[in-house]
Amino acid sequence: MPTVSLIVAAYDEEEVIEAKVANALALDYPRERLELIVASDGSTDATVERARAAGADLVLELPRGGKLAAQNAAAERASGEILAFSDANSVWRADALRRLVEPFADPKVGYVCGQVRFLDPEGDNLEGAYWRYEMAVREMESALAGITAGNGAIYAVRRNAYVPLDPSGSHDLSFPFELAKRKLRSLYVPAARAEEKMAPTLEGEFARKRRMMVGLWDIVVGERMISPRGYPPLYAFELLSHRLLRYLTPFLHLVAFAANIALLGQGRVYVVTYAIQVAVTAAALLGGSLRFGPFRVARYYAMTTASIAAGLWDRLRHGPPAAWEKAPGTR
């Protein structure tokens, strides 16, 4: 079994950091082969003291620089052959780390992410339902040519394949395509499971996604996700269909709606498609007050799609992101 450095980047996580350290140290993995690192990104609360008292092997007190800066600093100090990463509020199942590192027995595998289950059935956020769909797609991608994105709750990368990213980057989105250009596969292992509380309201989910999407455009353009150079053909297809077209969805919807208006009178089919677009938009507007299932789905879809455009607007106005904040209600 390889040596593993489990890295937890934390900013003002005094509420959950002790439980996170305890969860990590209770994993079914040889203790002498596991190094637990907590990287505090300029925390102003008791995160550092509580992480040390809970038994973390190394606690880094870093100046505020953003999540990526904290992860880069921890990776530089790590000693493990495999670098695993987790959010401070993620709870791993006992066998999760064993499952996560198993695929690295294949030297062609560079990155592995596990399955995160979002908890909070009482709220009006449908992220959990969407995530189940996303995981089904990810499982098919993994079997075909490799996944196009991971998740921050549970993932790992070979130490010698780790790429220090700019503060606006994201391990979730950048590692899979960066490693694909190095001929390394990125896999999804659903048996490696973690749980995490999601934002209880759709408004909270919109704000979370909007913050995430600010740095998206630096990854797509600045880190050259959009460049076809170096990708295997099947992986390029996955990236185009699952990532790039998805990020263009807000603008493609506007194009489709304008084209539909222009084509009214050219056949019955355009009346039907126009009616469908208007009906879905109306359902999204009503979904905030009427808790009818289809209306809630329409509202979730509209708001998460709009978050992509909102993130671009924030990027154009304020520049690339660096600092990070917790989503309310997720601790």
**What single string gives the DSSP state of each residue in 265-276?**
TS-HHHHHHHHH
Kindly state the average pLDDT of the residues 163-175.
88
Kindly state the average pLDDT of the residues 291-299.
88
Q: Is the pLDDT of residue 127 over 80?
A: no
Q: Is the pLDDT of residue 168 over 80?
A: no
Q: Is the pLDDT of residue 121 over 60?
A: no
Domain spans, the chain: 4-199
Q: Which pair of structure tokens corresponds to residue 323? A: 């600092």
Q: Is the pLDDT of residue 259 over 80?
A: yes
| Closest C-alpha among 124, 223, 134, 216 to residue 179 | 223
Kindly state the average pLDDT of the residues 158-184.
92
Residue 237's pLDDT band (cuts 50, 70, 90): very high
To the nearest 10°, the Cα dihedral for 53, 59, 65, 66?
-70
Region of poorest pLDDT, from 36-45, 226-235, 262-271, 286-295: 286-295
| Per-residue confidence (pLDDT) for residue 216, from 0 to 100 | 87
Q: Is the pLDDT of residue 257 over 70?
A: yes
| Per-residue confidence (pLDDT) for residue 76, from 0 to 100 | 96
Single-letter amino acid, residue 55: G
Q: Can you tell me the distance from the alpha carbon of 146 to that of 135, in angstroms, rounded to the nearest whole number? A: 13
Please report where in the chains the tokens 């660096």 appear, as a residue.
322
Q: Is the pLDDT of residue 123 over 80?
A: no
Q: What rounded mean pLDDT belongs to the chain? A: 92
| Per-residue confidence (pLDDT) for residue 194, from 0 to 100 | 96
Q: Dump the DSSP string for 4-66.
A: EEEEEEESS-TTTHHHHHHHHHTSSS-GGGEEEEEEEES--SSHHHHHHHHT-SEEEEE-S--
State how beta strands 155-158 and 185-197 pair: unpaired
| Per-residue confidence (pLDDT) for residue 331, from 0 to 100 | 65
Which residues touch 47 (CB under 8 Å, ≥6 apart)? 10, 11, 12, 13, 14, 17, 38, 40
| Per-residue confidence (pLDDT) for residue 323, from 0 to 100 | 66
Contact call for residues 20 and 86 (beta carbons, < 8 A): yes
| Per-residue confidence (pLDDT) for residue 329, from 0 to 100 | 58
| Per-residue confidence (pLDDT) for residue 322, from 0 to 100 | 61
Contact call for residues 7 and 74 (beta carbons, < 8 A): yes
| Per-residue confidence (pLDDT) for residue 169, from 0 to 100 | 80
| Per-residue confidence (pLDDT) for residue 28, from 0 to 100 | 97
Percent of the chain with pLDDT over 70: 95
Q: Alpha helices, DSSP H only, in the chain?
A: 17-25, 47-54, 67-77, 96-101, 127-144, 171-180, 202-214, 216-217, 233-238, 245-247, 249-263, 268-286, 293-318
| Per-residue confidence (pLDDT) for residue 227, from 0 to 100 | 87
pTM of the model: 0.89
Please give the C-alpha separations between residue 21 and each of 13, 47, 157, in angstroms, as whole numbers: 12, 11, 20
253-283: buried (b, 16+ CB within 10 Å) or exposed (e) per residue?
Answer: beeeeeebeeeeeeeeebeebeeeeeebeeb
Q: Is the pLDDT of residue 6 over 70?
A: yes
| Per-residue confidence (pLDDT) for residue 276, from 0 to 100 | 96
Contact call for residues 194 and 118 (beta carbons, < 8 A): no
Q: What is the CATH number of domain 4-199?
A: 3.90.550.10
Model confidence pLDDT, tens digit, residues 182-203 = 999 999 999 999 999 877 788 8
3-state secondary structure of 245: helix
Residue 35's pLDDT band (cuts 50, 70, 90): very high
Region of poorest pLDDT, from 149-163, 171-185, 233-247, 317-331: 317-331
Model confidence pLDDT, tens digit, residues 80-108 = 999 999 999 999 999 999 999 999 999 99
Q: Is the pLDDT of residue 211 over 80?
A: yes
| Per-residue confidence (pLDDT) for residue 221, from 0 to 100 | 84
Please give the C-alpha separations between residue 173 and each of 111, 186, 274, in angstroms, as whole numbers: 12, 11, 34
